[in-house]
Amino acid sequence: MAVYHLQIVTPDRMVFDGQAERLIVRTVGGDVCILARHIDYAAPLGIGVARVTDDKGVTRVAACSGGMLSVARGEVRLIATTFEWADEIDAARAAHAQQEAEKKLSAMRKDDVDYALAEAKLKRALIRQQAKG
């Protein structure tokens, strides 16, 4: 299968910089799959599970939230607020974060200013657990 150059970065680090066959990631409009020779494209990222298949055919799963995806002239850049490979995720910590977010949400009204923030924390915890498998 054809490959392309993919960079995945967060504010903290360069997560991936190499050749890839495929990237599947959640945008605010839904999941997209980027293959070689994809049309130029840009989209804001949502919260979801990402899958990267490298040039050797090895697929890695990650939890990804927020940021931007850009495809320009065959170069693909994923600039994420957070991006954690499944093997880096602490399952117990993610489960604890889920419980805390659920507890906080149950004590709030939907019109509370912090409701959306608590809801986003819950989504991130659930996606981290999904990516971990």
109 or 36: which leads in pLDDT: 36
Same domain, 48 and 99: no
Question: Phi and psi dihedrals of 29, rounded to 5?
Answer: -95, 0
Same domain, 36 and 66: yes
pLDDT at 9: 98
Same domain, 37 and 70: yes
Provide the mean pLDDT of the chain.
Answer: 91
Same domain, 11 and 50: yes
Cite the DSSP H helix spans in 1-133.
91-106, 115-132
Which residue segment(s) compose the domain that 121 sits in?
Answer: 90-132
pLDDT at 118: 81
pLDDT-based confidence at residue 58 (cuts at 50, 70, 90):
very high
Residue pair 61/48 in contact by the 8 Å Cβ criterion: no
Q: How many domains is the chain built from?
A: 2
Short-list 18, 128, 127, 5, CA closest to 70: 5
- CATH number assigned to the domain comprising residue 113: 1.20.5
Q: What is the per-residue pLDDT across 66-113, written as a single tens digit (0 to 9) for each?
A: 999 999 999 999 999 999 999 998 888 888 888 888 888 788 787 777
Least confident residue range of 10-14, 65-69, 95-99, 116-120: 116-120
Same domain, 56 and 42: yes
- CATH number assigned to the domain comprising residue 33: 2.60.15.10
Short-list 29, 22, 26, CA closest to 131: 26
103 or 20: which leads in pLDDT: 20
